[in-house]
Amino acid sequence: MYLSRFLSIHALWVTVSSVMQPYPLVWGHYDVCKTQIYTEEGKVWDYMACQPESTDMTKYLKVKLDPPDITCGDPPETFCAMGNPYMCNNECDASTPELAHPPELMFDFEGRHPSTFWQSATWKEYPKPLQVNITLSWSKTIELTDNIVITFESGRPDQMILEKSLDYGRTWQPYQYYATDCLDAFHMDPKSVKDLSQHTVLEIICTEEYSTGYMTNSKIIHFEIKDRFAFFAGPWLRNMASLYGQLDTTKKLRDFFTVTDLRIRLLRPAVGEIFVDELHLARYFYAISDIKVHGRCKCNLHATVCVYDNSKLTCECEHNTTGPDCGKCKKNYQGRPWSPGSYLPIPKGTANTCIPSISSIGTPPKFNRIWPNISSLEVSNPKQANVCDNELLHCQNGGTCHNNVRCLCPAAYTGILCEKLRCEEAGSCGSDSGQGAAPRCSPALLLLTALLGTASPLVF
C-alpha cells in the first residue's frame, strides 16, 4: 500500500514538473544573503550572493519630455481618429481632465476601456520634423530582467530610437533602431533579434518588425531582453547557470542589461503612405498608452532589499558593504579589496563579503586552529577577522564580546572563544579541583541540551 502511494505521488510530481519546466522562475534565485548554520562549535553565518526581486520599475521613475511643451492640449486642439484620418473631431484640452493626455498616463493601470494615454501635439508645423524625446530616469542603476514594451495608442512611429545611459543621462548609447525602412532612415540593413547569436548578442540592430502605420492590432514595440538571455540559457531559459556564468565573467554583457536611464526618441510619426497628407496634418501625432520596464536595483549581489524613500531607490546592503549599489566596503571592513558577489556556483553563488581591516582590531589575537566554517566567511587568513560580533562568531560558555576584539570569559573558561576549561591549561582538572566537576560535553550535546531546556514540556 505504501509503495503504491509513493509511486502515485512520484508520478504526480513528475507530471507537474514537466508541465512547469518551460516556465522557470528565471530570476527566482539569490533571495537570501545569509543564513545561520550549526557546527560542532556553535552557530556561524553562512553567506551567499543575493539580489532584490524583479519588479515593475515604472513605479519608481521620473519622466521628462523634450520639448517640454510637446504634450497636446495647451492650447486645445482637435485631432483625427485612429484608422479614419478624415474624422477629425476628437479634442485634446489640458484644462479638462476628461480630455487631457498628460505624460503620467503612460504609466497608469491599463485595465479599463478606453485606454488612457499620453499624446503629443499634432504635426501642424510640417515640414518641420515632429520629434519628441521621452526620458525615463531612476537616479539609480537598475538591471533589466524582462522585455521593454511600449504600447502606442496612435500608429507606431515610422522612425524611433531606444537609447540607454549608464551615467545618469550624461552620455547615451543606442539600444535599438526602429524604422519602416532601416536603410533609408539609418543607413542600416534590417535585422531582428533572431538574426543574432551568442557572439553578436551585443550588436545594435535596426528592425522593421515594429514599425507599421495605422493597424488596430499592431500597437506594440518590444526591446527583447529575454530573447537575448535565451542565447545563453536556451529557448525556455532552463540553463540559467550558463547565463549567470556569462554575466559573471563578461562585463560588457552585464553592462548591456544595466541602465540608469532610458530614452525613447520619436523621430517621425506613423504616416502610412509614401507622402504626408498636408491637408490633414491633424492625423499625425504620437500617443503612448503604456510603457513596461521590469528589472531590479543593481546591488552587486550584496542585498535582497531595495527601498524607495524620498523619491530615491537605495540598496539595503549586506556583506559589510555600503553605497547606493553596495559598491564599496564599509569602514573598518577593508581587509581586502571590494568585489561584487558572484552567481556561481549555482544555486547559492559566492558572497565575496568584505572582511575587517587589521587596523580596526589592533594586534590580531594569536591562535593556531582554523575557526569553524571559516570558508563560508571567505577569510583565507583567520587573523584578519573579528574575534566576535553579531555577524561572525559568538563567544562560547557564557563569554561576552568586548569591542569585537576578544571574548570576556567566565572564571572557569579561557581561550579565544572561551572554548576551553581554564583548569586544562594548569593540568588541574582532577576531582580535587572545583572546576573538575564540570562535565565535559561535546558542543553538539551542549547545544541540544540548551534547546531542550528552553522548549515547552512534551505532552503525550
β partners of residue 220: 151
Residue 143: how many other CB atoms lie within 10 Å: 20
Residue 339 confidence (pLDDT) above 90: yes
pLDDT category at 101 given cuts 50, 70, 90 is: very high
55-297: which CATH topology? Jelly Rolls (2.60.120)
Task: Give the gyration radius of the chain's Cα atoms.
Answer: 31
Asked if 281 and 126 touch (Cβ cutoff 8 Å), the reply is yes
Inter-CA distances, 427 with 134, 409, 433, 436, Å: 79, 19, 10, 10
- Spatial CA neighbour of 186 closest among 158, 156, 148, 151: 158
Q: What is the mean pLDDT of residues 319-344?
A: 94
- pLDDT reading at 449 higher than 80: no
The answer to whether 404 and 388 are in contact (CB under 8 A) is yes
Q: Please compute the mean of the pLDDT values over residues 285-301 and round it to a whole number.
A: 96
Spatial CA neighbour of 312 closest among 81, 446, 140: 140
pLDDT of 9: 52
Min mean pLDDT across 137-141, 219-223, 395-399, 449-453 is at: 449-453
Q: What is the pTM of this model?
A: 0.73
180-222 pLDDT per residue, tens: 999 999 999 999 999 999 999 999 999 999 986 555 457 899 9
| Mean pLDDT for the stretch of residues 135-152 | 96
Provide mean pLDDT across the span 133-155: 95
C-beta separation of 388 from 394 below 8 A: yes
Q: How confident is the model at residue 408 (pLDDT cuts 50, 70, 90)?
A: confident
Written as one string, the DSSP assignment of 1-60 is -HHHHHHHHHHHHHHHHHHHTTS--TT-----SEEEEEETTEEEEEE--B-PPPEEGGGG
The amino acid that residue 253 corresponds to is: L
Residue 233: strand, helix, or coil: helix
Q: What is the pLDDT of residue 432?
A: 46
Query: Whole-angstrom Cα distance, residue 290 to residue 144?
Result: 17
Percent of the chain whose pLDDT exceeds 70: 73
Q: What is the dihedral of CA 339, 27, 61, 260, to 10 degrees?
A: 40
Q: Is the pLDDT of residue 451 over 60?
A: no
Mean pLDDT of the chain: 80
Number of Cβ within 10 Å of residue 109's Cβ equals: 7
Indicate the pLDDT class of residue 21, thresholds 50, 70 and 90: very low
- The residue assigned the cell 590580531 is 364
- Is the model's pLDDT at 367 over the cut of 90? no
| More confident site: 190 or 436 | 190
Q: How confident is the model at residue 376 (pLDDT cuts 50, 70, 90)?
A: very low
pLDDT at residue 2 tops 60: no
Cell 560588457 belongs to 252
Task: Assess whether pLDDT exceeds 80 at residue 362.
Answer: no
First to last CA, the chain: 28
Buried b (16+ CB within 10 A) or exposed e, 58-72: bebbebebeeeebbb
Q: Is the pLDDT of residue 267 over 60?
A: yes
User: Is the predicted pLDDT of residue 81 greater than 80, yes or no?
Assistant: no
More confident residue, 428 or 54: 54
Q: What is the pLDDT confidence band of residue 442, given thresholds at 50, 70 and 90?
A: very low
Name the grid cell of 175.
Answer: 539600444
Confidence of residue 345 (pLDDT cuts 50, 70, 90): confident
Please report which helix (H) or strand (E) contains residue 245, including its range.
helix 240-249
Identity of residue 362: G
Collapsing DSSP to helix, strand or coil, 445 comes out as helix
Give burial (CB, 10 Å; 0-12/13-18/19+) of 194: exposed
Amino acid in position 268: R
Region 387-391: what's the mean pLDDT? 54
Contacts of 333 (CB under 8 A, 6+ apart): 320, 354, 355, 356, 357, 360
pLDDT of residue 373: 38
